[in-house]
Amino acid sequence: LPPPDLSRPAKGGSSCCRTCSHAETCVTMRACSIGLSLAYACCLAIVTLIGFSAITTGIVLLIEGDHYGDTAEDLNPRADFSKLPESCIIEDVIHSYREEDDGYGYHCYDDYSYVFSYQGRRYRSRQSESLRHDGVCRGSQQLSAAFVVGEEVLCWQPNVMPVAAQYNCGNDMCYKIFDPRNEVVIAKDTGDAMEAAGISSLVCGILCCCCCSPAVWCAGKKREHA
């Protein structure tokens, strides 16, 4: 009888060994396939987590922004504050600047706060920010302060304590050198900005969960069947 042909795989052998010339190659290919499957699974989990985080953040911002803006709408600065009988004196001007990147480009801001005195006691105002320049701060001109040292300015005091957070007090007594009516306008704008950010975050999260996650899942399935 002729000797058996050992180059042919035995019947009942694995499909991997039938298609591969060496067992080591089959093991390596299987390991690579498992590794790629795990990588796709990790990507899917990360994308889904990012999506749900963005959705959660968006919902929180929408709720907080709506509440913050509605509360500002109900404020009555004429009733909540009254002018002090004497002027306040600006004792010091504190300045800083910063750059922010909103995803579309850099913006340069000037931040000012003021130390002022009333009847011999010193207080600090809230921080006031102004957009200096759309771009980086380097090479741009610093904006002037609203007040200068030694200037006498109008002051307001609260009629009832505690006051609403929208008034943005800079000191425990909530003595203010900024008109409380302007604080209400700023609070309304802040509420609108929070709502806008919430909508953007919510939309991005939904797109991430509804589009990106299925795309990663389908890519992984195609890779498994390849």
The pLDDT confidence band at residue 157, using thresholds 50, 70 and 90, is very high
- List % helix, strand, coil for the chain (3-state, nearest 5): 50, 20, 30
Residue of 159, 208, 171, 167 lying closest to 187 (CA atoms): 167
The per-residue pLDDT for 173 is 94
pLDDT tens-place string over residues 118-146: 999 999 999 999 999 999 999 899 999 99
Cβ atoms of 110 and 132 within 8 Å: the answer is yes
Residue 42 predicted with pLDDT over 90: no
Does pLDDT of 197 surpass 90? no
CA atoms of 125 and 182, how far apart (whole Å): 14
Separation between Cα atoms, residue 140 and residue 98, nearest integer Å: 12
What pLDDT does residue 17 have? 46
What confidence tier does 67 reach under pLDDT thresholds 50, 70, 90?
Answer: confident
Mean per-residue pLDDT for 48-56?
Answer: 81
90: left (phi over 0), alpha (psi -120 to 50) or beta: beta
**Between residues 140 and 26, the one the model is more confident about:** 140
Judge whether residue 55 has pLDDT over 80: yes
Q: What are 46's strand-pairing partners?
A: none
Residue pair 91/116 in contact by the 8 Å Cβ criterion: yes
Query: According to the model, what pLDDT value does residue 193 have?
Result: 80
Report percent pLDDT > 70 for the chain: 74
Which region among 68-72, 106-110, 182-186 has the lowest average model confidence (pLDDT)? 68-72
pLDDT level of residue 159 (50, 70, 90 thresholds)? very high
Average pLDDT over residues 25-48: 67
* In contact, 196 and 62? CB cutoff 8 Å: no
